[in-house]
Every structure is written in C-alpha cells, then in structure tokens.
A and B are shown apart, each in its own frame.
Chain A
Amino acid sequence: MPEIKELVKQLADEHGRTRESLLPILQGIVSEERYVSDFAMTEVARELDMSAALVYGTATFYSFLDTQPRGEFVIRLCRTITCDMKGKKQILKTLEDLLKIDVGETTKDSKFTLLETNCLGWCHKGPAMLINDEIYTDLTPEKVNEIIGEYMKK
C-alpha cells in the first residue's frame, strides 16, 4: 500500500509531526480514503514516532474517523428527535430501499455507506443528512430519490 504511505507522509509534511498534528492527519486520511485502516494507523505511528496504541486510541474515539471500510459516499442521517418528528423514519426507509442496505452497512459496489448520526444542527430544516461533507435539508422521499439518483451517476 504505497499510496497510503505517501499520503501519510504528505499529510505529516503539511500538518507537522507532533501529537497535535494527529487529528488533522487522521482527518486527512478519512477525507481521501473514507476510513483509517490498521495499516494507515501504524503508518501514522511510524511517521510521527509515537506508539500505534496512541493513534488507535485517538482514531477510535471520534465518530467521523471511521476505522472500518466505508463507501465512496458516506450518508449520515440525523437521528435527533426534531428530525424524527419531521419524518426521518420515512427518509431512512427511502434510503434503505434505494440502496438496498440497512443502517451501518455499505453497498456491495462500495459506493454508499448508510449511517445515523447525532444532531447535525439543522433542526429548523429537518430531516437533514450529510453526504460526505455536503449537507441536505428539508428532505422528502422524492427529494432523497433525486439526490441519491445524482450520486449514483457519479
């Protein structure tokens, strides 16, 4: 996996090689690879000259630093009560039907991962979801159909 090695090195050059650089480096890996593999963690540990346990400890604490393989597009649907009241369950069902997966799963072609997340900060425009870093609000089943259709073409 020379690419990961190269990526870690690049990120360390950009953010530095101290403990404080750890989070930005892990975030950089996730934005490229969608998750931090065990190999990437040991690579970061080597590059920053710290124990792999420290890297693992930090990486596994944060819900946006996934440590298992994720799809190219990670969908995070807000599960807070206010989004729930505006029809989140219907949105979830629409997503599950469209992608033919359950929450927590990734499609066979590794294109989509479907997750639930805590308050996204769009309670006045619920239901809301993130696809990678992109935000979608005021969701309806029709709108979700359209959005996912667009992503399927990508």
Chain B
Amino acid sequence: MPDKKLKRVDLIFSEECSCKDVLADGLKKSNEELLNEILDSGLRGRGGAGFPTGLKWKFTAQEKAEEKYVVCNADEGEPGTFKDREILSRVPLKVFGGMAMCAKVIGAKHGYLYLRGEYQFLKNDLQKALDEFHSYLKEMDFDFQIHILMGSGAYICGEESALFESMEGKRGEPRNKPPYPTVAGFRNKPTVINNVETLVYSFMITRIGAKTFHDLGTADSRGSKVFSVSGDTPIPGIYELELGMPLEDFVEEFGDGDTKAVQVGGAAGFCVPRKKFKDTIIGFEGVPTGGSMMIFNSSRSMYNVLKNYVEFFEEESCGQCTPCRVGCQQLKHGIEAVKRGDKSAAYLDTLQKLAETMKVTAKCGLGQSVANSFSSIVDNFKEEMIY
C-alpha cells in the first residue's frame, strides 16, 4: 500500500460546467459508449453495498421487457449519513442527469426518486428543479419522465426490494433474492436502482471521462466519495475525499486529538478502535462506508454507543424474519443484563454467536449487518460492556 495522504476532490458539488451542457453531450453519445464509460471508470454503488454500477446498468439493458425503470434511492437513513440531503439540495440537476443517462442506456421512459419522509421539506425545491430538468429533456427531444415519491419514516425502505414494495403501496418488507432488481424490480420489471451519489458520479463521469475517475482511489475502490463527518470533531460536515485512505490520516484531519474510535459506515458499519487506525483502509478492500463517519473521543461510553445502535435496529427491523426480529431484541436485552450484572461477562460470547447467526440467516442486509457493529464494538471494548 503506497503511502497516501488525504486528498480532497471536487466532482460532486463542482459548478464548473452547466448541467444542461453535460446532459446534451451525454445524450449525443451512443448507449455503448456511455455504458463503457461507466464500466471502465470502476464506479461502485455509493449507498454502502458497493455493487459495480456499470454491471447493474448492463444487466438491465440486456433484459428484454416493454417497460424498464430507473429508481433513485434517496431514502438515506443510515445513522450518521446526511450527504444525500446535501447533494439533493445543492445539485439536484446532476442527480436527475444521472438518471437520464441511465434511462438512455437501459431504455427506460420513467424514473422515480424515492425521498425519505424526513426530507419532505426538500420536496418543493426538488420539484422546481425537476420541472426545469424536464424542460431541458423536451428541448433535447429525449422521452423520459421523473416522478418524486415520498417515504414515511422507515429505515428498511432503503433496502432496494423493500423500497420497490413501498413504491407499490405495500409494507416495506424486503423480497427474496434472486430475482434481482435488474431482472424484476419495481412492478416486477427490470429496474436499475442507484443511490443519489452514484447517479451524480455517473453523470460526472460522462463529463470527465472514465480515466480521470479511474485514476483516483485504489484498485478496489476507484474514485472519490462524499463523507458525512460527525461526532467528536471540530469540523463536522460534508467532505468529498479520494477513496482508499488510511483511517489514521482521516482521524488526523478530522479528530479532536483524543479520538478513541471511529464508527465507519453507520450503525450497520464497523467500529474501528484507535489501535487499528493505522492499518485500516477506507474503501471496499478495507472498511467500506456509505459515507457515515462518526468520531468518538475518550469521554464517550462505547456501551451507550452500542446500545443506541441496537435499539435503532430493534425499532427498524421490519419484523418479517425471525433472526432479525427476535435477534435484535435479544441483543439489546443481553447487553443490558450484562451491564446490570444479571448475566456474567461470558454471556457476551453467546450474544456474539447470536449476532453471527443473524449474519447468515437474516433475510436482508439489515439483519445481516447488525453483527458488524455489535461484534466490532464488543470485541474492542469488552470492559466497557461489563463495568
């Protein structure tokens, strides 16, 4: 690993070029050219899971269906993440632009932006921007319509198949996979569902070219990423940084000098303690993140942090599958019992096993990822769980 310092990047919010021009240039390109640019750039989903964006587009483009859809996942709910709100309020046209590029490649006539209920206050401005965008499309004679749909306060709807269920007026309960959305997504039609930030990068890649993007980051994590920095830091906020940096450099820049741990990737992510800062890479080869970076200094109780996360999961579990529904409740009761002294410290090992079981048996990413924060916090801060 070459020594790499934190590098700021300005792609997402840059206003150097007019969205209208980028859109016009992009729509003039052939579908193959556009798709190859996204494939060659190495862009992977920015919502957290990191699936290669180009492949998603390619698979959907290959499907034969009368209707196909592009869906923008703006149901940003991961604790500690606020970058999508910032992107939507500052550069909405770029988000719509990414949707239009995707629509061209896969052959979709309709796109949907699913906005979380907590961001209702953004809707009017978004709609205004969308009207402007639709007028561009009309001028360019490109047949594509975007609709804004609202969520109603359910974290699980950020899971793609749950989001489709919600768009269809149902309870936001994840579906079995396969089939994947590229085959059967919204209304069981081939659908590309991308995170807000992923769509903006797709749009910008058509402007800057695959190579410029590919040159940023590391072999496994190409490009840059928007980070939401919060917690014990003198400079909380949104930062676009090159991927693949050591956590140590991140802490040096953003920490308050007394950083004890960083939770990378929100409640569903991993807790990295101080002794591992040096060897931890932020990216798909190390610890991936949808953008959430919560910094804790030594005055914080990691028990409180874990309890807050477990309570969050208990509340947001859709309740559909037993491992997640019961597992989250038991993890919460378990750590409380150990803290009270009703259970011995060895009980933490039993809870760890439960979390591991959830990882392999839960139906969707929510239940599967509870073990990430649970195990990484319990492993690294065991004494704080007990005393």
Contact (A23, B169) CB under 8 Å given A64-B117, A123-B236? yes
Which residues of B sit under 8 angstroms from A84, Cβ to Cβ? 304, 308
Q: Are B77 and A24 in contact (CB under 8 A)?
A: no
How many Å from the CB of A20 to the closest CB on chain B? Answer: 5
Q: Is A130 a contact partner of B82 (Cβ separation < 8 A)?
A: no
Stretch at the interface among A91-99, A103-111, A113-121: A113-121
Q: In the complex where A82-B230, A85-B231, A117-B153 touch, is A123 in contact with B171 (Cβ < 8 A)?
A: no
Interface size of B in residues (CB-CB distance below 8 Å): 50
Check A62 against B312 for contact (C-beta < 8 Å). no
User: CB within 8 Å of B: which of A112-142?
Assistant: 117-126, 130, 133-135
Contact partner of A58 (CB less than 8 A), chosen from B120, B170, B300, is: B170
Do A134 and B121 touch across chains, with their CB atoms under 8 A apart? yes
Q: What is the size, in residues, of chain A's interface with B at 8 Å between Cβ atoms?
A: 37
B118 to A120, Cβ gap below 8 A? yes
A135 to B237, CA, bound (A): 17
Given contacts A81-B304, A124-B237, contact A118 B231 (CB under 8 A): no
Say if the beta carbon of A2 comes within 8 Å of chain B. no
Closest partner residue, chain A, to B80 (CB atom): A123
Q: State the Cβ distance, A41 to closest chain B Cβ, in Å.
A: 14
CA distance A135 to B154 in the complex (A): 18
Smallest Cβ distance from B385 to chain A, in angstroms?
16
Given A121-B76, A121-B119: A65 in contact with B155 (beta carbons within 8 A): no
Cβ A118 vs Cβ B312 within 8 A: yes
Q: Mark B288-309, 1 if CB is under 8 A from A, else 0.
A: 0000001010001000110011
Q: Which B residue sits closest to A124, measured CB to CB?
A: B236
- Are A27's CB and B150's CB within 8 A? yes
Across the interface, name the chain A residue whose C-beta is closest to B313: A118
Task: Indicate whether A81 sits within 8 Å of B305 (C-beta atoms), given known contacts A19-B170, A24-B150, A122-B82.
Answer: yes
- Contact residue among B149, B155, B169, B296 (Cβ-Cβ distance under 8 Å from A118): B155
**Distance in angstroms between the alpha carbons of A22 and B82 in the assembled complex:** 28
Q: How far is the CA of A20 from the CA of B316 in the complex (A)?
A: 23
A-B contact pairs, 22 of them (CB 8 A): A26-B152, A58-B170, A62-B117, A63-B154, A64-B152, A80-B80, A81-B294, A82-B231, A85-B231, A85-B232, A117-B118, A118-B316, A119-B77, A121-B77, A121-B119, A123-B80, A123-B228, A123-B230, A123-B231, A124-B228, A124-B229, A124-B230
| B residues whose Cβ falls under 8 Å from a Cβ of A | 76-82, 84-85, 116-121, 149-155, 166-173, 228-232, 236-238, 294, 296, 300, 304-305, 308-309, 311-312, 315-316, 318
